[in-house]
Structure 1
């Protein structure tokens, strides 16, 4: 299993598109920082701080997850036409091991890319403004841990759906197109329903917004975590069924 995971990461780290994506994220984070500072609404005030901008970047990351999702769909579909799965299977590895290695490496990669955007912004902001967000100092650590855990779980629910598309259609173009259409439609739906006073709390975009609020309760956090984990479990189970039944060429 570990050898399979190392092989998947080796292929990723030797993919020029991965580094292009990292560079794109870094540039986008730098260029969009002024906009996120304006969203905070306290530009030029002594209360301005890096962590507040960081959480605002997570709060406003709906459009960004569409872009990262499309990049993820592209990565997921890159090895569809290659014989790597057949070679790995012929080497004596099980289908379950191959599937697990692909899932683990993909989810880790996409979460790194997704968190790299706000973390890069946080590092840039730390070079010139304080870290403190204005909440009690004794709960800042708990707050950061909660936000990171919930963000990872929510990201996994989205990216596991991309894996389901990848193993279902076995075509990179279709995977990218459906991913873009689904995520963008969800973003528009959340915006339309919000204007009508309706909150679709079961959707990943809405869960992401609630996860970064300071006053989110433990019960709400558990609900978000369970919902996100349920999505991930269902999507990965369905993806495994398609992967297990299809012929590896």
Structure 2
């Protein structure tokens, strides 16, 4: 398998991608910690203080509300980061298309590897916050890789599809930006599923981000088991999406050099 053969190359590119995000800044990789903490503070203030949003939990502690929101943001950020970058992955790496023989399909893998690394830092912040303020770390956190499996597979497939499509149609990146922004508020990140009107819940159930966000909260914040039924179904869906995305990418890659 090409990904296994190129595992060292993928690892090198992931390291390069992570370092390039903060290249030239004084704080460097510290921004990977400061940025989510800042956004967490803003979201928590707006939704729990200004809008007086409530969660179906016994405590009124704003920190618990923050942990719940943060866990959802972590999952969504993995998806949004890769999806927003994918349409420009080939365009921004023209040299790999025209000058050398290069496994272009690994660029999407590198993007998701970099996003997962940053997500790992955020999960560590969340776990340490729970330990510091609530004195607890739930053992169910070891199930996190399984919870993220459907997300990774779905994101990979969509990433390959968008990387190809974005090479031919430059407007795709702008369209995807609008869709991702809408999807963030159409996913139960800042509010519980129980607050969604009954006649709209069917739409939310069709949104895979809904299930992943809910499972993130279960295993990290609440110490509950994930929805095994969704993980099975979501993994199958993700596998199909990733295989179709890769097939589409390989079928269309031959024309990349002609349009770049």
TM-score when normalising by structure 2: 0.64
The CA distance in 2 between the partners of 1:125 and 1:193, in whole Å, is 25
What is the 5 A alignment of 1:91-110? 91=101, 95=103, 98-99=104-105, 101-110=106-115
User: What are the superposed Cα offsets for residues 69-96 of structure 1, whole Å, 9 maximum, x if unpaired?
Assistant: 44333433444223243268x34x5x4x
**Other-structure match for 1:167:** 164
Deviation for aligned residue 1:126: 3.1
**Other-structure match for 1:232:** 238
The CA distance in 1 between the partners of 2:63 and 2:185, in whole Å, is 28
Deviation for aligned residue 1:210: 4.2
User: What are the superposed Cα offsets for residues 105-149 of structure 1, whole Å, 9 maximum, x if unpaired?
Assistant: 2222223334544432332343344115xxxxxxx42x2223x13
What is the 5 A alignment of 1:59-208? 60-61=72-73, 65=76, 69-81=79-91, 82-86=93-97, 90-91=100-101, 95=103, 98-99=104-105, 101-131=106-136, 140-141=138-139, 143-146=140-143, 148-160=144-156, 161-170=158-167, 174-175=172-173, 177-178=175-176, 180-181=178-179, 184-185=182-183, 187-188=185-186, 194-196=196-198, 198-199=201-202, 200-208=204-212
Q: Unaligned 5+ residue runs, structure 2? A: 1-5, 24-28
Q: Unaligned 5+ residue runs, structure 1? A: 133-139
Q: 1:144 to 1:57 in 2, by over 3 A?
A: same
2:59 pairs, out of 42, 56, 60, with: 42
What is the 5 A alignment of 1:11-30? 11-16=16-21, 19=29, 23-30=34-41
**Other-structure match for 1:5:** 10
Deviation for aligned residue 1:24: 1.9
Q: 1:183 to 1:230 in 2, by over 3 A?
A: farther
Q: 1:49 to 1:189 in 2, by over 3 A?
A: closer
Q: Once superposed, what is the RMSD of the aligned Cα atoms? A: 4.1
The CA distance in 1 between the partners of 2:223 and 2:126, in whole Å, is 23
**Other-structure match for 1:136:** none
TM-score when normalising by structure 1: 0.66
Deviation for aligned residue 1:173: 5.0
